[in-house]
Amino acid sequence: MSDGPVRKEKDSMGEMDVPADAYYGASTQRAVLNFPISSLRLGRPFIRALGLIKLAAARVNADLGLLEPRIADAIATAAKEVADSKLDKHFVVDVFQTGSGTSTNMNANEVIANRASEIMGGERGSKTIHANDHVNLGQSSNDVIPTAIHISALLEIEERLIPALQRLQIALESKSKEFWDVVKTGRTHLQDATPIRLGQEFLGYGGQIERGIKRLRRAQEELSEVALGGTAVGTGINTHPEFASRVCTVLAQELGVAIRESDNHFQAQSTLDAVLEASGSLRTVGVSLQKIANDVRWLGSGPRAGLGELALPEVQPGSSIMPGKVNPVIAESLIQVSAQVIGCDAAIAQAAQGSYFELNLMLPVATYNLLEAIELLASASQNFTERCVEGLGATPRGPEIVERGLMLATGLVPAIGYDAAADVAKEAARTGRTIREVAREKTDLSEDQLNQLLDAAKMTAPRLDPGPLSG
């Protein structure tokens, strides 16, 4: 509660003192006093979505003859200010509040009503425009908040996350082409395996991101179905039968993304299934990014005592005590983001279990974690692309050690069989010699045959060209 001047506002429970300069009213002030839990607030993308919903609702209600045009215009103007972040400081309710998000919906209704009242020539608190009767007409917190969750996540994925991932995919595929001629030793179980092109490794990374984007597109399809129109429990009480479908049409046209009214409002309001699926897609992207970041930092480990196959951009000193040390900090940052996204998904899974009868009662915490995961993945992906991937270089280290790789013996198998090739590999490991050197001694293969069979570059693609094995 502010120590400054106040005004009296009234809701169904009676009068409340509200800061004189606040656009919110009594219901919001009660929530401020009831939930002094944290410093966390539902963020800009969600407030934007709320503003857009209220704006479209006012226009549709006017078209349906349910609101006077001048009232609808004032609400639309105020709601546009909310959507455009001009009134953000008046959204003051803690994330950890009523499980339906009613306090945040009323925060929006009151801010828009008071601002619209001013636009109409009234004063804040005058109820020239009423938060419930006018701004919330045809709506309930129980369908507005789930709808705002879907729309905010849908837009953030479309406008921020997918573009960031597309740029990362392009960067990885570009490095794949750049590194295609670099033949190195593959690794499985952290042990030497058959040769692979460094470009093939990066082709795999690019493929992970490409498929992650496809998963997000499927999540968007789920998120495009919204609960608006169900009002209190999914039955649509106190709303016009055409209200929700018309609002969805307005929003889709304004935003350029698919938004449609659910054909089953009872599931739309009583579960977080679509949000949980979207969160799972975000978690998958996070885990993919962690794999890529870990590979990059391991391949760049060293520079003398590690693998040293990649040269990472040097962006900052790595130690307060060891001069000259440079660490893979951009990759480490991305790995930490992945961990946070996995934590967000765990919180959303818990929230999804908070669905009882006709309503989920953990909507605000699900909203916060879903949007945080999207924001973190978008920012970290963009940063990883710009400050790490685009500046990666290949060192000579990978190609230099291919000839000493024990798993070159795999190339001998079609000609001499698995057991004989294993004997060659074990002898090479025991003596420190190369596969080629031991094969010259232990097999009847000619030099030309050895050159063919042990050509590391040819071992990076499917082939099986020697003659039949002897019995």
List the chain domain ranges.
6-137, 143-183+198-230+264-397, 401-460
Q: Is the pLDDT reported for residue 112 higher than 60?
A: yes
pLDDT band at 194 (very low <50, low <70, confident <90, very high): very high
pLDDT band at 230 (very low <50, low <70, confident <90, very high): very high
Q: Is the pLDDT reported for residue 87 higher than 80?
A: yes
* First vs last C-alpha separation in the chain: 90
Q: Is the pLDDT reported for residue 400 higher than 70?
A: yes
Q: If you average pLDDT over residues 61-76, what whole number do you get?
A: 98
Q: Would you state the pLDDT for residue 465?
A: 67
From 1.20.200.10, 2.40.50.140, 1.10.287.470, 3.10.50.30, which CATH number describes the 143-183+198-230+264-397 domain? 1.20.200.10
How far apart, in whole angstroms, are the C-alpha atoms of residue 114 and residue 129? 7
Q: Is the pLDDT reported for residue 337 higher than 60?
A: yes
Q: Would you state the pLDDT for residue 318?
A: 87
Does residue 189 carry a catalytic annotation?
Answer: yes
Query: Any idea which fold 6-137 has?
Result: Fumarase C; Chain B, domain 1 (1.10.275)
Catalytic option among 2, 38, 85, 319: 319
Does residue 2 carry a catalytic annotation?
Answer: no
Average of per-residue pLDDT values in the chain = 96
Q: Would you state the pLDDT for residue 362?
A: 98
Q: Would you state the pLDDT for residue 323?
A: 87
Catalytic option among 39, 189, 320, 470: 189
Contact criterion met (CB below 8 Å) for 282 and 348: no
From 3.20.20.70, 3.40.1440.10, 3.20.20.150, 1.10.40.30, which CATH number describes the 401-460 domain? 1.10.40.30
Q: Would you state the pLDDT for residue 469?
A: 60
**pLDDT tens for residues 302-334?**
999 999 999 999 999 988 888 889 999 999 999
**pLDDT tens for residues 243-300?**
999 999 999 999 999 999 999 999 999 999 999 999 999 999 999 999 999 999 999 9
Q: Would you state the pLDDT for residue 90?
A: 98
Count Cβ atoms within 10 A of the Cβ of residue 211 and give its class: 0-12 exposed, 13-18 middle, 19 or more buried. middle
Count Cβ atoms within 10 A of the Cβ of residue 191 and give its class: 0-12 exposed, 13-18 middle, 19 or more buried. exposed
Q: If you average pLDDT over residues 83-92, what whole number do you get?
A: 98
pLDDT band at 3 (very low <50, low <70, confident <90, very high): confident
**pLDDT tens for residues 130-181?**
999 999 999 999 999 999 999 999 999 999 999 999 999 999 999 999 999 9
Q: Would you state the pLDDT for residue 201?
A: 98
Q: Would you state the pLDDT for residue 470?
A: 56
